[in-house]
A and B are shown apart, each in its own frame.
Chain A
Amino acid sequence: GQQVMQIPQYQHVQEGEDFTTYCNSSTTLSNIQWYKQRPGGHPVFLIQLVKSGEVKKQKRLTFQFGEAKKNSSLHITATQTTDVGTYFCAGGRSNDYKLSFGAGTTVTVRA
C-alpha cells in the first residue's frame, strides 16, 4: 500500500479563496517532492524540500516540510482557475532509492 497519505482526496474551491493540502508519512522522510498534473496531462515537478521545518514559496504556492520530516503541506492563496489539477506529494526515504507517491489531491475551482 501507499506509504505516503494525502488529504483531502478532493478539494472544491471558490475562486479567490485559499486552501491547503496535506501529505503524511508514518516514517521519517529524507526529502519530499510536489508535482502538479493538469487534467489529461502528465505530472510536472514543482518543488523539493529536504530540511526539517523548511518553507518554500512559489508565487501563490507555499510548501512546508514538518519539523519531524513526517509531513508536508501545500497552501495556495487566492486560488485561480489555472490551479485546477491534481497535486501529488512524493516522499523519499534514506534506505530507499525510489520515491513513494501519494494518491493526490484533485482541485476544482468554481468561478
Chain B
Amino acid sequence: NAGVTQTPKFQVLKTGQSMTLQCAQDMNHNSMYWYRQDPGMGLRLIYYSASEGTTDKGEVPNGYNVSRLNKREFSLRLESAAPSQTSVYFCASSESGRTYEQYFGPGTRLTVT
C-alpha cells in the first residue's frame, strides 16, 4: 500500500498563477484533509471532506478551493496564487473524524514569488 500520495513534491509559482495539488489514498478512508504548515504555526486546516461528496471549510480556507473527486482523491486548488500562500501543504486521511488517527502524505513544498 502506498498510503497517502501527493503530487507534485515541489512547485514554484508566480503571483497570480493557478495550480492544483493532487492527493490520493489507498486505505479506503472516508475522511480527507488539507493542511498547511508554516514555521511556528503548526498544522492549520484548510479544508476537509468528512466523506465522499462533502467538503467543509477549516481554519484558513480563503484563497483555496477543493474537490473530493471520489473516495480516493481530494484535490486542492489555488486560483490566483499569492506570496502568502508559500508553505508546505500536507494532505491527510482517516477512517472518520477526530477520534481516528490521521495518515499524512509526504507534502508539497510551494513557493509563490
Contacts and interface: CB of A to CB of B under 8 A. Distances in A.
A1 to B, nearest CB: 9
Interface of A: 2, 6, 9, 30-31, 33, 35, 41-45, 48, 50, 88, 90, 92-93, 96-99, 101-104
Interface string B71-113: 0000000000000000000101000011101111111000000
Contacts, number: 63
| Interface core residue of A6, A35, A44, A103 (most chain B CB under 10 Å) | A103
A2 B102 CA distance: 19
Contacts of B33: 98
B9 to A, nearest CB: 11
Contact of A9 (B40, B58, B92, B103): B40
Contact of B101 (A2, A6, A48, A98): A48
Contacts of A42: 90, 104-107
Given A42-B90, A103-B40, A97 B98 contact: yes
A92 B103 contact: no
Nearest to A92: B98
Contacts of A45: 101-103
